[in-house]
Structures are given as C-alpha cells and as structure tokens.
Structure 1
Amino acid sequence: MTPADLSRAVLHAVRRAVDEDALRAPVPARVRVERTRPGGRGDYACAVALQLARPAALPARDVAEIIRERVRGVPGIGAVEVTGPGFLNFSLLDGADRIGALVRDITRSGREYGHGHALAGTTVSFAPVEEARALVVAGVVERLLRAQGATVGARAAGGEALHVMPVPAADRDLFARLGNDAARWALLRAAPHDRPQDTGDDALLAQREGNPLFRVRYAYARTRALSRNARQLGFTATYEGPGGGARPGGAERAEAVTDALAALLADHPDVLAAAARHREPDRIARQLEAVARAFFDFHDSAPPIPVGDEKPSAAHRSRLALAEAAGTVLAGGLSLLGISAPEVL
C-alpha cells in the first residue's frame, strides 16, 4: 500500500462515517498522511481527526476512533492506533500479509464480501415502472442499495425515478430468446444512458472467450474445478505467501498478475458502493469482466494446481486460496445481478 492508497482509504473511511451519520462534518477534498517521526507509532500518521473535530463538535480522539473503526480491516493496513490528542497511526502489511488479509476477509464474508453500510440512513423509493429494462435495473438497484445498508420502500408515485432508456419493442422478447441469465446481462451491461446492444443470440449464448458473460461464469466454474482438483490431490487452500513455483522464467510475471488480481478483489467493495450510490449496475458487470480477465492471467502464469511431477506446495495452497477468493467475488457479483453462477460449464 502506497501513501496515496492509504490517503484514499482514510478519506473513504471519513466519507463512510459522514454517510452513516456517525460524523457530522464536511468531507475534506484530500487527506494527508506522513511518515511517522522517530519515536512514533506505526509507519504513517494522519491528523485528519484534529482537522474535523471542531466542525464535528467532538473531541479529536472521538473523531479518530470513529474513523479508526471504518479503516480497520482495509487490505494492506495491519494495525490502527489512536495516539496523543487524536492522531491516527497506521502499521502497514507487506505484500504477502496484505493479500493474506484480503483472502481471509473474502473467505469470512463469502458472497456478501463488499456489502456494507455506506448508505445506512438513506431511504429510497422508486417510481412505478413497467418497461422491461427498467424493471430489471430497478430490481438490481434495490438489491444493491440494501446491500449497502439503505432502506428501500415500495415503488410509489413521488419516489425516486430511474432514468432508464426503454428497450425497443423488437427486443422485448429477450428473455424468451436468451433465457434469464443472458437477457439480464444484455440489459444490465449497458450504461444507464445507453441502449442495450443486441449483438445476436449467438454472441451471448456461445460458450467462447469472446462472450463476456460466458468468460465471467467460466472463470467462476474454473475456480470451483481447481478446488475439486486440489482435494483429489490431498490439499486445500491456505494463504501462506507467494512462494515459488511459477512457470520457468515467469517469477516476475507471476508476481505481477497476482498483485493485479488482488488489487481488483480489494477494489470490489468500492465498486459495489459506487454502483449503489450512482444506481449503475453496469459498474458491477464491468468489474466482473475485469476480475475474470485477471483471474485467467493469474491462472496461466501462477498455476494453483501442480503441473506434471510437481508436489503440492505452500505456493499452490496460497494460489488456490486467491483463486477461491476470486470465485467468491465473481459469484457474489453475479448474484447481485440476478444471474446464476454454475459450478460446471
């Protein structure tokens, strides 16, 4: 985690506290973090609580504790302490510890990884809708809002209206032609201001890499297959660090794709919160496509299953743990979109 990453994490925690009405103060444009001075605690320190104490009408230490509760557990951050009048002190994890903490967080949360309280205290009700795409989008947005702690009322006149481009009459038989999963993907993948692109039945039903829906679902199915194969070989997933075992000459590549996949998984909660806040389910579809691409890059460069005469090692157990975490994120995202995640394709 870089200082810029840490600054964004603290700023996000402040914004969450304000959104949840735990802190009544203006959200600063940026948060400054500095290297801890000799004799200080942790790796970095931040004085944002002192900055917010006066407008929040709270002691700085109380503000720091509010922020601390919302920044603990962020991948890459090991310990968070409040010192002095209200300084936040952060101890960062190294790469292996960071990914290990991320994998444990995803495993603990399961398919609800990324659900939270970003919109707690927000009440939303939608205007009545009848058009096919609007119904599908509204249903998913309701699910997203609830996953972020919002209260969603019945759709009623005077409620918040979704601005969804209508589906042309010729496309209203999408569900009959494509089935639930492909039809929902076609309607949800396009941004709210864009019309869904009907690229033909073959494009969304074909089991090939060029079909993004198939690629996302196949990535999930592949993670499940890896777990089954590992059990047959007598080992299970446990993140113990990156280890060796990359393909010959590919150690740097393996590290790069591992970090890329982990970064996308760590970003998932922010993507879900943004999709709920902006009422844009297409953000999740794009995130799932990115996770699937990163997973296959990781799978090919840092195999989670021994190849040839290799014996299962700590590296394989760690890679399997990260692969399973990716599968959990893919399945959770598909579930929010109302799309199934088969274990075998």
Structure 2
Amino acid sequence: MTPADLSRTVLHAVHRAVAENALRAPVPARVRVERTRPGGSGDYACAVALQLAGDAGLPALEVARILRERVAAEPGIGRVEITGPGFLSFTLDAPGDSDRAVLDAVREQGSAYGHGGALRDEALRFHHAREVRAAVTADAVRRLVVSQGARVRISCEEAGEAGETEWGLLGVTVDAYGTPPVTSPADPSAPLIPVRPVPAGATARELLERLGPDATRWGLLRPASHDRAPLGDELLVQGEANPLFLVRYAYARTRALTRGAAALGFTPAIDAAPYESSARPLLDLLADHPRVLLTAARHRAPDRVARQLEAVAHAFFDFHDSCPPLPSGDEKPSAAHRSRLALAEAAGTVLAGGLSLLGISAPAHL
C-alpha cells in the first residue's frame, strides 16, 4: 500500500463514518498521511481526527476511535493505533502478505472459496412461475444463498408434463408445486419470496435444442432479472467477444498452464516472489470474490456473479500476456514463474467455482 493508497483508505473511512451518522462533520477534500518520525509508532501517521474534532463536536480521541474501527480491517493495513491527543498511526502489512493470504485461502478452500455462513440463520422460500427463466433464476439463487449457509425451499406455481424433463437437463429442481401460504406455519419468519425475471420468450426445449444447457443458463442469468435476456446464436460463438466463451476459455487456459508447468518440472509457489504491478487487478478481484458472492446472494442476483467472472477472465488474460507463467525458449523456470503460476491457478479455481454456482460446467479443454 502506497501513501496515496493509505490516504484514500482513510478518506473512505471518513466518508463511511459520516454516511453512517457516526460522525457529523464536513468531509475533507483529502487526507494527509506522513512517515512516522523517529521514535514514533507505526509506519505512517495522520492527524485527521484532530482536524475533524471541532466540527464533529467530539474529542479528537473519540473521532480517532470511530475512524480506527473503519480502517483497521482494510486490506494492506496490519495495525492501527491511537497515539498522543488523537493521532492515527498505521503499521502496514509487509508487501505481499495480504496477497499470499488470499491465494492461500483459494488453495485451501478450492471451488468453495467465497462460501460462508453469513446467511446460516435464514430459512428462505422462493416461488416462481412455470417459465424457464424463472426456474433457472430460482435455481441459481438457491445455489448462491446455500453457499452462504441459508436453508432453501423452492416451489413452482403449477406442475405439468411438458418442460419438466428439459428443466432437469438444465439442472433445475423444484421442491413443491402449487402456491404455498405466504407465511409458513412451520416457520413464520420465512415469508414466500417471488422470483419474477422478465420471461425468456422461449421454452426450455427450444433453448436446449438451439443452445445447449450451458449457453442457455448463461444467457438467462447474465442479464439482470429486470432486463430482457438476449438468447441468440452469439452465445455459441467461439471467440472472446462472447463472455461465456471468454470465461470458460480463461479457465481452460489456467489448466493448460498447470499441465505445461508439470511437463517442465515445476509447481506453483505462493511465496516464491512478489507480484508485478500488472497482477494487481487480478489479485484485487480474487480478494473481492467472497464479498461479491455474499452480495449476490443477499440481492438474489446471479448476474453479479457472471459479471465478476468476466472481470476475472479479462484480468487474467491481461496478467498472462504481460507476465507469462511459463518460461519461453531456453529460459529456465524461476521463482517469478512459480509465483505467477500460483496466481493463474487461483484465478482458475475462482472461475470454476463461480461457474458452478451458476450451474455451468467448466471444461479443462476448449
């Protein structure tokens, strides 16, 4: 984290404190941070609490405590102390520590990286019309909220012979048919939640015959539910202009890199070397992945996951092109190659896990 990054982080904490009504003071245009003087505490110091205390009508020490709560958990910051009359002193993580923590988490959790228990106390009941986009959306929402610990039951307003087999081919399951009561007698805290995206304008059978299950699900889930779902043949185009192909190709490329490294006799190593600046967008997206999944679950918005996967795929290819994980020509594998391979494999893990939550396969070869 650079001094400019730290300044923006502290300023963001001021904005949050004011927005949350924890602090009533005008937000400064910028926050100044300085290197700690010899004998001081931490790497950098900031006097913003003293600056805001008068307008806030609070002691500077109290303002400093309010801001410390909102800065301490930010990536790259190891410790925040309050010194003197209300100075904030920051000790930064060693370069690469937070990156290694993210990559370690991806490696340890695998495709479950980003899953959590934030919704473990929730029992949710979703209800949808007998229409393919509603059914696929409800299924994807189920996968998302279950990944965050919720218990889920899905009902469809009516049963029928036509379309049910095709729903199964799309990975859709329904727990009950008919319209259940708005409030469950067994659990009054679990109201019925309707799932009502803009209809697809085609049946499951028509879409499967034309697009197959993966392209159908992506086409139905990628747009926000209030938008019409484009379901043309562009979903089958084998080119980077097709976001589904881009995401799956990025995953397949990460698997190819692992195979290529094995053939050259080396494996990934997270601690092998610091990352180049071109890796930063990809590292930041991987670090942000758990938040994206939780937000998508809370808002019942699988389209957010699709957009996250597209961003990861673009960042992966930018990183891959500027910092190849495999040596070329007579070049020997180095610590940098091992570290780049670790990042590439982590990107592949996130892509595969995200596609799984959308009910879409991630082939190792394309």
Partner Cα distance (1:119, 1:43) in 2: 37
Counterpart for residue 134 of structure 1: 134
What is the aligned counterpart of 1:241 among 248, 273, 281? Answer: 273
What is the aligned counterpart of 1:322 among 338, 343, 346? Answer: 343
Counterpart for residue 168 of structure 1: 201
Counterpart for residue 249 of structure 2: 218
Change (3 A) 1:120 1:7: farther
Partner Cα distance (1:216, 1:224) in 2: 13
Partner Cα distance (2:154, 2:203) in 1: 30
Q: TM-score when scaled to structure 1?
A: 0.74
For 1:106, the aligned partner's letter is: V
What is the aligned counterpart of 2:303 among 261, 275, 282? Answer: 282
SS at match of 2:129: coil
SS at match of 2:140: helix
Counterpart for residue 115 of structure 1: 115
Partner Cα distance (1:28, 1:312) in 2: 53
Change (3 A) 1:90 1:133: farther
1:9: Cα distance to partner?
9.9
1:174: Cα distance to partner?
0.7
Partner Cα distance (1:121, 1:82) in 2: 35
1:3 aligns with 2:34: no
1:76-106 superposed Cα distances (whole Å, 9 cap, x missing partner): 34x458889xx99864325433322221121
1:60-82 superposed Cα distances (whole Å, 9 cap, x missing partner): 9xx99xx89xx76x7534x4588
Partner Cα distance (1:314, 1:343) in 2: 26
Q: Is the 1:100–1:241 contact (alpha carbons within 8 Å) kept by the matching residues of 2?
A: no
Q: Is the 2:138–2:154 contact (alpha carbons within 8 Å) kept by the matching residues of 1?
A: no
Partner Cα distance (1:131, 1:188) in 2: 14
Q: How does 1:187-226 map to 2 (within 5 A)?
A: 187-200=220-233, 203-226=234-257
Change (3 A) 1:260 1:88: same
Change (3 A) 1:171 1:180: closer
1:262: Cα distance to partner?
0.9
Counterpart for residue 152 of structure 1: 152
Q: Is the 1:44–1:91 contact (alpha carbons within 8 Å) kept by the matching residues of 2?
A: no
1:184 aligns with 2:217: yes
For 2:216, the aligned partner's letter is: A
1:121: Cα distance to partner?
2.6
SS at match of 1:124: strand
SS at match of 1:98: helix
Counterpart for residue 93 of structure 1: 93
Unaligned runs of 5+ in 1: 15-24, 48-59, 244-254
Partner Cα distance (2:181, 2:11) in 1: 39
For 1:221, the aligned partner's letter is: A
Q: Is the 1:122–1:150 contact (alpha carbons within 8 Å) kept by the matching residues of 2?
A: yes
SS at match of 1:343: coil
Partner Cα distance (1:217, 1:269) in 2: 20
1:309: Cα distance to partner?
1.1
1:152: Cα distance to partner?
2.2
RMSD over aligned Cα, in angstroms? 3.7
Change (3 A) 1:170 1:221: same
Q: Is the 1:140–1:281 contact (alpha carbons within 8 Å) kept by the matching residues of 2?
A: yes
Q: Is the 1:206–1:214 contact (alpha carbons within 8 Å) kept by the matching residues of 2?
A: yes
For 2:249, the aligned partner's letter is: Y
Partner Cα distance (2:42, 2:278) in 1: 33
Counterpart for residue 266 of structure 1: 287
Q: Is the 2:278–2:319 contact (alpha carbons within 8 Å) kept by the matching residues of 1?
A: yes
SS at match of 1:126: strand
Residues matched between the structures, number: 304
Change (3 A) 1:274 1:315: same
SS at match of 1:173: helix
Change (3 A) 1:166 1:154: closer
Change (3 A) 1:8 1:288: farther
Q: Which protein is bigger by CA-based radius of gyration?
A: 2
1:283: Cα distance to partner?
0.8
Counterpart for residue 257 of structure 1: 278
Q: Is the 1:127–1:157 contact (alpha carbons within 8 Å) kept by the matching residues of 2?
A: no
